[in-house]
A and B are shown apart, each in its own frame.
Chain A
Amino acid sequence: MQPNNVLDFPRLGYYFRHHLLASWKTYLLGILSIFGLLMAIPTLMLVTDNAPHQLDDVIGFYYFGLFFGGLLFTSMAFSDFSAKEKGIHFMMLPASQFEKFITVFLITTIGYLVVFHLAAYAALVFMQQTCIIRNGTPLEMNWQFAEGGTIYIYFAYIFLHAVFMLGAVSFSRLAFIKTLVTLLLCLLGLYLLNTLFVWILFGSATDQPFQNLPFALVGTRGGKFGTDVYVISEKMIYGYAFIAKYLLAPCIWTIAYFRLKDKEI
């Protein structure tokens, strides 16, 4: 019988098992490292007598772990390509490129987020106990998960995940560093392009040429208060926000998938 060449659930299950059997030791080590590092923070606070009073004091560690750990893990998702023989094994295994991609995608998104938040929660519980011992009061919970502006941090994470996933497929070695450098160069390029257009459109009237908000806001000298501000329309702002929140990451994931399909060894 002709198999489904894109997605076959039993085969996806086999591939998941194959992937986990080959990588479980690495993943276990990673999970232990995340737990260890997140637990080390309250332990250090306990022994150095620096117990925090509110969650805001330590939330930076959470974000650092989320971004650095998550993106580093994602950039290693296709580390099989760093060695030719591993790459051949990966490519020749009879599963579709979509099944191979989706397995890695699920592990680096849902898998990592679940493990990281479990570790972060355990660290928080431990930290609460530390605060009670040291300060006599529990930690003030002045931060709410994904509320208000903090939701954009998660949108940023999703975007960066997509970028680092594309980097993992594109760069065989040192994917994290190479992706980071490429991303910074792309952002710098976009910023310079925007500055060039602002310069062409507003010329010397531009108020502090390198301090406008790229693609959204330009300030020029003049007007009642010494500055005229040009802002893109509200419709465009919503359009930009929609693209940034919901389209950019899926587009980059799709590009990463097609890069994987076109990979040669």
Chain B
Amino acid sequence: MINIQSLKFSYRQNRPLFEDLSLHLEAGHIYGLLGKNGAGKSTLLKQIAGLLFPDGGSCEVMGYKASRRQPAFLREIFLVPEEFYLPKVSIRHYVIANAPFYPRFDEQAFYSYLKEFAIPQNQQLTNMSYGQKKKVIISFALATNTKVLIMDEPTNGLDIPSKSQFRKVMAAAVTDDKCMVISTHQVRDLDNLIDSIVIIDDHKIIFNQDVGTVTDKLSFKMLAQLDDRMPVLYADSSLRGHAVILKNEGTEQSKIDMELLFNAILSNRQPIQELFN
């Protein structure tokens, strides 16, 4: 569904952000795009949305060249940016003005998402808090039923109950023909939501695996003491003990700790990558 081949991009000459970046994302998944600050998560999402053009390589979404920004492409993709714009109108007028552009827009679903997020439906968008506005745009994005939905830091500005509401509505909205990409640096917000992890670092994609494969090959444990004989790939010590990633040598499945995995891949990339290759 999203096919990026040998992407090259830089904001400034001689300072490449992406070099030979390739990525293939399929429908029916919620991808978590993780990376350090400045790694290029938002830039990659902009490339997918056609807001930035590649310096080299290609970026195709559903067979469309993203940079052409054709209406046939735009009506099948929705981007929820970190900093978004909502006009000074009521929710009803926002729907009247924007919904006709999306052929599968589901108004009933939109209002049910608003209800889920406890947003008053007759309020002016300008009179809302940042978090409330974010919930409106997320609800609208889901109601458009576009095949590709990309979100840049969607949980920023959401309070704790809203984050779990967000996970709930997102999980309910994903279908086999949709591809959702969520970029975040708050990996815990995406716990139990994403089914594939994409990590971007050092100008390219360094990790792209689904959660099932990760838990097949890695085991996440909390140990009271570290034992040198254990095949520990990464350990993070705290007062509670040692959170470790081990090579999963059996069939036992553990609950993935994305923060731990992210740190492990960034600090001890090679042995983990070898396991997946």
Contact = CB atoms under 8 A, between A and B. Distances in A.
A89 B75 contact: no
A164 B258 CA distance: 51
B23 interface: no
B122 to A, nearest CB: 17
A16 to B, nearest CB: 11
A89 B72 contact: no
Contacts, number: 72
Chain B CB within 10 A, most for which of A84, A88, A93: A88
Interface stretch (B28-36, B90-98, B215-223): B90-98
B79 A96 contact: no
Given A85-B81, A96-B70, A265-B46, A21 B101 contact: no
Interface in A76-104: 83-86, 88-89, 91-97
Given A11-B71, A264-B53, A88 B101 contact: no
B87 A22 contact: yes
Contact of A21 (B46, B69, B72, B87): B87
B169 interface: no
Contacts of A86: 85
A182 interface: no
B93 A21 contact: yes
Interface in B52-68: 52-53
Interface string A1-27: 011110010010010011001100100
24 contacts: A2-B72, A3-B75, A5-B71, A17-B96, A21-B89, A22-B89, A22-B97, A84-B83, A85-B84, A86-B85, A89-B84, A91-B50, A92-B49, A92-B51, A92-B74, A94-B75, A94-B101, A95-B74, A95-B101, A96-B71, A261-B69, A264-B51, A265-B51, A265-B52
Interface of B: 46, 49-53, 69-72, 74-75, 77-79, 81, 83-85, 87-89, 93, 96-98, 100-102
Interface of A: 2-5, 8, 11, 14, 17-18, 21-22, 25, 83-86, 88-89, 91-97, 261-262, 264-265
Closest 5 CB pairs of A and B: A94-B74, A94-B75, A85-B85, A5-B70, A94-B101
